[in-house]
Chain A
Amino acid sequence: FVMTQSPESLAVSLGERASINCKSSQSVLYRTNKKNHLAWYQQKPGQPPKLLIYWASTRESGVPDRFSGSGSETDFNLTISSLQAEDVAVYYCQQYYSTPSYTFGQGTKVEIK
């Protein structure tokens, strides 16, 4: 499994939309449960990653609704609808379809323009 994120970095004005793409080399759609085994994490400097989205589009409890996930099989997106200063971070996608290697994407750095 290879997870490829784009862009590597992006700068967005406060209040504007930020979108990150994640492509998987193989489908992460598990036919048995009809779920995409794809998660998104946010990591700020000096902190552990924080789970934002799982099953490709389910927001983790407590995550602001400006964060949303979409996509299926091999092509996924994380969207921040209105960028806030506290959203500056590196964002990673991760497939959890193929154990034991739950591969991460290389990360996308989001900054304020």
Chain B
Amino acid sequence: RKEVEQDPGPFNVPEGATVAFNCTYSNSASQSFFWYRQDCRKEPKLLMSVYSSGNEDGRFTAQLNRASQYISLLIRDSKLSDSATYLCVVNMNSGNTPLVFGKGTRLSVIA
């Protein structure tokens, strides 16, 4: 089983739509969770951390389900500028070990 799995997409949605991505992780002892965004031909950048209680940043909501070992990202009122690849990222243990990146889910928001 892969450590961090995501649906690669692409998700093609119209402007204004709500879209959700899920990501599953294999290690139940995983400590912290993130969503990164990567624009075409650019480097990944942190979008938001994912907290146990769930968290919201404007149109973006991230949630964690430890029992089922998945995290989700919800984007409301999609904008053309949201088109990007969204990477699910997990810290698999408490030590100073590298983050584990999913392969990403590609989103295209269409006018």
**A interacts with B:** no
Residues of A within 8 A of B (CB): none
